[in-house]
Amino acid sequence: MKYALKINGMQKTVDVDGDTPLLWVLRDVLNMTGTKFGCGMALCGTCTVHVDGAAARSCATTIDSIGDAAVMTIEAIGDTPVGRKVQQAWFDLDVVQCGYCQSGQIMSAAALLTSTPHSTVSEINTAMSSNVSRCGTYNRIHDAIQRAALDGEANVKVERVVCAVDCGLPINPLTIDAQVQGGTIFGLTAALHGAITFKDGRVEQSNFDSYLPLRIDETPRIETHIVPSRAGPGGLGEAATAVVAPALTNAIFAATGRRIRRLPVQSA
């Protein structure tokens, strides 16, 4: 039976049985061999393509189930803005070892970042959990997706902050937590957006009147862990404020390989 398919923006006509998996139509009929065969049971993710933008396992997607949906394969993903970012991140972080599963990994990552551009660690883990890598390059795959999750202006979104504080003998842990949270938010605001220009040791100009303060819906989850101590009570909020900038820039380097050497981060 003849089926009209839209693949990578082009119309294709194939004459196959309706229960033929899309994978074999791509590889055997259309000679598009970028999509790989892995398990044949939709368990490993190697054969992933996009059907109307969503990740789909082509080994278990029959031709008669596609209808008018648009199919995209690894051959065309680099023509999309998200696909280009994902492929560049893969290249920059040297993700690939044998490479056999990587077309499926890239397609799953691109589908995730298309639907959720600023994906969290949890969202990345969930979206990629069904893609198996025999070479075990999971850490580099994860790092590459995080790098690609930075938008075109390299804007940074902090998802979680963990603080370990030794402020002496704790009198009221709730107060300690509140002070650390306030100091962290103040430090993040300054590190992300604040800019001061100095000349001869004096402030020449700043953007304090126009930079964006961190708002409640932009505030990351902040976890405070109090280190047991019998020393006298010490400072709280100020200590958190001072270390946010180096902690943030180190985290960006760990996730993306990019060194930030000046503040504010959003314009670096």
Instruction: Specify whether 220 is located in the same domain as 241.
Output: yes
Instruction: Specify whether 61 is located in the same domain as 114.
Output: no
Name the residue with tokens 């590459």: 144
According to DSSP, the residues that pair with 197 across neighbouring strands are: 205
Instruction: Specify whether 62 is located in the same domain as 85.
Output: no
Query: Which CATH number fits the domain that encloses residue 130?
Result: 1.10.150.120
Confidence of residue 36 (pLDDT cuts 50, 70, 90): very high
User: Which of the pair, 28 or 258, is modelled with greater confidence?
Assistant: 28
Instruction: Specify whether 169 is located in the same domain as 254.
Output: yes
Query: Which CATH number fits the domain that encloses residue 56?
Result: 3.10.20.30
pLDDT at 202: 79
User: Which of the pair, 170 or 128, is modelled with greater confidence?
Assistant: 128
Instruction: Specify whether 72 is located in the same domain as 82.
Output: no
Distance CA 125, CA 138 (A): 10
Instruction: Specify whether 9 is located in the same domain as 36.
Output: yes
Task: Tell me what the mean pLDDT of segment 203-215 comes to.
Answer: 70
Instruction: Specify whether 258 is located in the same domain as 214.
Output: yes
The reply to whether 225 falls in a domain is yes
Confidence of residue 73 (pLDDT cuts 50, 70, 90): very high
Q: What percent of the chain has a predicted confidence (pLDDT) above 70?
A: 90
207-213 own/partner pairs: CB under 8 Å, 24+ apart = 211/264, 213/189
Has residue 174 got a pLDDT over 80? yes
pLDDT at 166: 86
Instruction: Specify whether 165 is located in the same domain as 120.
Output: no
Q: Decide: residue 232, CB within 10 A, 0-12 exposed, 13-18 middle, 19+ buried.
A: exposed
The reply to whether 200 falls in a domain is yes
Give the rounded distance of the alpha carbon of 48 from its chain centre. Answer: 19
Smallest CA-to-CA distance from 244 within 171, 198, 164, 185 is with 185
The last residue of one of the domains, among 48, 76, 104, is 76
User: Which of the pair, 175 or 268, is modelled with greater confidence?
Assistant: 175
pLDDT digits (tens, 9 = 90+) for 185-205: 888 888 887 767 777 877 776
Domain coverage including residue 35: 2-76
Confidence of residue 253 (pLDDT cuts 50, 70, 90): confident
Q: Burial code of 207-223, b = ≥16 C-beta within 10 A, e = fewer?
A: eeeebeebeeeeeeebe
pLDDT digits (tens, 9 = 90+) for 1-14: 999 999 999 999 99
The reply to whether 106 falls in a domain is yes
Task: Tell me what the mean pLDDT of segment 29-37 comes to.
Answer: 98
Confidence of residue 207 (pLDDT cuts 50, 70, 90): low
Has residue 154 got a pLDDT over 60? no
Smallest CA-to-CA distance from 231 within 166, 178, 179 is with 166
Contacts of 156 (CB under 8 A, 6+ apart): 150, 192, 248, 252, 265, 266
Task: List, in sequence order, every beta strand (DSSP E) within 8-159.
Answer: 10-15, 48-51, 54-57, 70-72
pLDDT at 192: 81
Name the residue with tokens 């119309």: 11
End-to-end CA distance of the chain: 57
Indicate the average pLDDT of the chain: 88
The last residue of one of the domains, among 76, 103, 122, is 76
pLDDT at 160: 86
The reply to whether 154 falls in a domain is no
pLDDT digits (tens, 9 = 90+) for 103-132: 999 999 999 999 998 888 889 999 999 999
pLDDT at 42: 96
Task: List, in sequence order, every beta strand (DSSP E) within 36-112.
Answer: 48-51, 54-57, 70-72
The tally of domains found in the chain comes to: 3
Smallest CA-to-CA distance from 67 within 51, 55, 54, 45 is with 51
pLDDT at 153: 52
Instruction: Specify whether 29 is located in the same domain as 86.
Output: no
pLDDT at 158: 81
The reply to whether 153 falls in a domain is no
pLDDT at 266: 67
Instruction: Specify whether 179 is located in the same domain as 243.
Output: yes
Instruction: Specify whether 7 is located in the same domain as 21.
Output: yes
- Residue pair 229/166 in contact by the 8 Å Cβ criterion: yes
pLDDT at 34: 98
Contacts of 129 (CB under 8 A, 6+ apart): none
The last residue of one of the domains, among 26, 45, 76, is 76
According to DSSP, the residues that pair with 92 across neighbouring strands are: none
